[in-house]
Structure 1
């Protein structure tokens, strides 16, 4: 007998927000962390003071060792106008944390990250009675892929199995849900099969708990080819994850807003759910930095809103609270994209979409 699964209260609250106006997501975590000029000792804290492995660069770990900084960053984004902040858990799986030999702390890491974001959300709500601030559990793409071999001489080889990816994502999602996130954001997807494993893991946790959270999905178009790293067009990708009936689908990272426009326009024309967009602050420069100003980024995303492409906007790599403030001001008062009725045609996908009339 299948257990009934109820929608969480956040479903209705988020639907109300998205129906009222264009919602605003936060910006990058890493770009802002860099501004704090942290050193190895900050990443170690007391708990990992004598740890044998170097830990600097593991930004997720800061939720445990410098929670004051992570909470402050979330607070800065809420102050800039964000409705939703992402937890500092982009690499919060055993597979990703294996690079630092920290697989054993994944549950603690995710719980601490949610706590940081929730404290900031509670404080922002207290400062503006009637305001609702949301916390989305960030689920990154992993550093291993199911669709591609890391060895050009062994195209059949995979560094990870479906079962391993599902297990890692299930553990992370259990921890995020138990800690109290409002939604799950499966983001920066470059391998569709990895994202399908994350979706499967989320649905498994929903069945365990009896409560379904909104699933937000965001893919990365890697270059001017208009395809993901695993080769799919934006329409083929949407068809691949459409069965999950996501709360939203969108594009983030890799490209700046100008380069993202044609793919976002295509997605907005076919998606039967809310559409999201949070690009990088321009393309990386020769030093790996991002030069797009808040004003220019706000102008670009404002044009997406004016053209009816989006329901939520924000920033990815290189974006800061200043960028988010400019974006929030640019879309203020503009109507959100209407969500079309769900189509009944058969929609399939390989690297290209196939619609069977």
Structure 2
């Protein structure tokens, strides 16, 4: 199995071989700091919309692009190499909760363009910046019943997920994404629908973007919510030939270490990403979590010193202060080495 030839972000694989790249932090955490009310979310365009929309962060790419731009630029100024589009919930499935499914495509295009402009503003020949088109898990799960009395019940189908993700991928690429990031995966079947849609898009277009896959270990069991261990999860998604695979969310860096160690071992031919949240809930903390920028950056520096990671960043509760500390902490650390290039020439799973 040979490495894919990318039509965008061609420099990224070489960068990851030579240094640890920094991903941005939490979008939602930063939006909360603006203390936006219902009217701010609605803007003039949706002032008479029939349903409350406060909390629909993806809508802000249409009504308050200045807020989203400010968040992106704050992370880029802090040293982020990659920033995620404001599209975690920008699928028709997620937006149906707000009766805004028909706006999903527009949200993705607009979000990608805002991120593209921010990256272009901060990019230099020595430090290019990359837009990661974020594909979230949706609020529905294809593997788990929503009804405790009916184990066979489902509230979404694979086909519905595939169609929603395909629309999102098309719009993200149209808006200028360099990378596609399937993240916060709690149900592997949802992720496989996203990866199927990505593969479909690649087959039908002249594009091939790097793909990053990031799962979520939900507790000390070491499994994602749909029941797979980290090793089993990797076996289920490696067919897409991702540029990187990793873990994010749910756990702070302290609790994430053994699962990153496991993933780094089994995915020896692929770059590893890790962007934990800011620890456990702490009502006394400014961010609501217990891992300060100093703590998070120290822990990720330890991950780097162990040779575990190629991409690091932050999830829920992390701020530009976290990203700046991480950037400074890992900057002198060498990246994790791949075992045999980017991908095994003979793939034992495929064989």
TM-score (norm 1): 0.93
Structure 1, gaps ≥5 residues long: 349-355
Partner of 2:129: 133
The answer to whether the 8 A contact 1:6-1:211 is kept is no
Instruction: Check if 1:109 corresponds to 2:120.
Output: no
- CA 38–257 in structure 1, closer or farther in 2 if over 3 Å, else same: same
Per-residue CA deviations over 1:1-47 (Å, capped at 9, x if unaligned) read xxxx962131x210121122000000000001101111111110111
Q: Which residues in structure 2 correspond to 1:251-330 (within 5 Å)? A: 251-271=247-267, 272-285=269-282, 289-330=288-329
Please state how far the C-alpha of 1:343 moved relative to its aligned partner. Answer: 7.3
* Cα distance in structure 1, aligned partners of 2:153 and 2:325: 46
* Cα distance in structure 2, aligned partners of 1:345 and 1:208: 25
Q: Matched residue of 1:255: which SS? A: strand
Q: Matched residue of 2:62: which SS? A: helix
Partner of 1:351: none
Instruction: Check if 1:221 corresponds to 2:217.
Output: yes
Aligned residues: 342
Partner of 1:73: 71
Please state how far the C-alpha of 1:286 moved relative to its aligned partner. Answer: 6.0
Partner of 1:243: 239
Per-residue CA deviations over 1:89-134 (Å, capped at 9, x if unaligned) read 0001000000000011111100110111111111112xx5543110
Q: Matched residue of 2:116: which SS? A: helix
The answer to whether the 8 A contact 1:6-1:210 is kept is no
Partner of 1:96: 94
Please state how far the C-alpha of 1:289 moved relative to its aligned partner. Answer: 2.4
Partner of 1:37: 35
Runs of 4+ in 1 over 6 A off after TM superposition: none
Please state how far the C-alpha of 1:192 moved relative to its aligned partner. Answer: 0.3
TM-score (norm 2): 0.94
Q: Matched residue of 1:228: which SS? A: coil
Q: Matched residue of 1:211: which SS? A: coil
The answer to whether the 8 A contact 1:147-1:230 is kept is yes
The answer to whether the 8 A contact 1:43-1:66 is kept is yes
* Cα distance in structure 2, aligned partners of 1:112 and 1:149: 34
* Cα distance in structure 2, aligned partners of 1:200 and 1:227: 23
**Over aligned residue pairs, what C-alpha RMSD do you find?**
1.6
The answer to whether the 8 A contact 2:8-2:208 is kept is no
Partner of 1:162: 158
Instruction: Check if 1:56 corresponds to 2:54.
Output: yes
Q: 2:201 aligns with which of 186, 197, 205?
A: 205
Per-residue CA deviations over 1:255-279 (Å, capped at 9, x if unaligned) read 0001000000010111121000000
Partner of 1:194: 190
Partner of 2:117: 119
The answer to whether the 8 A contact 2:249-2:315 is kept is yes
Please state how far the C-alpha of 1:184 moved relative to its aligned partner. Answer: 0.2
Q: Matched residue of 1:188: which SS? A: strand
The answer to whether the 8 A contact 1:216-1:249 is kept is yes
Structure 2, gaps ≥5 residues long: none
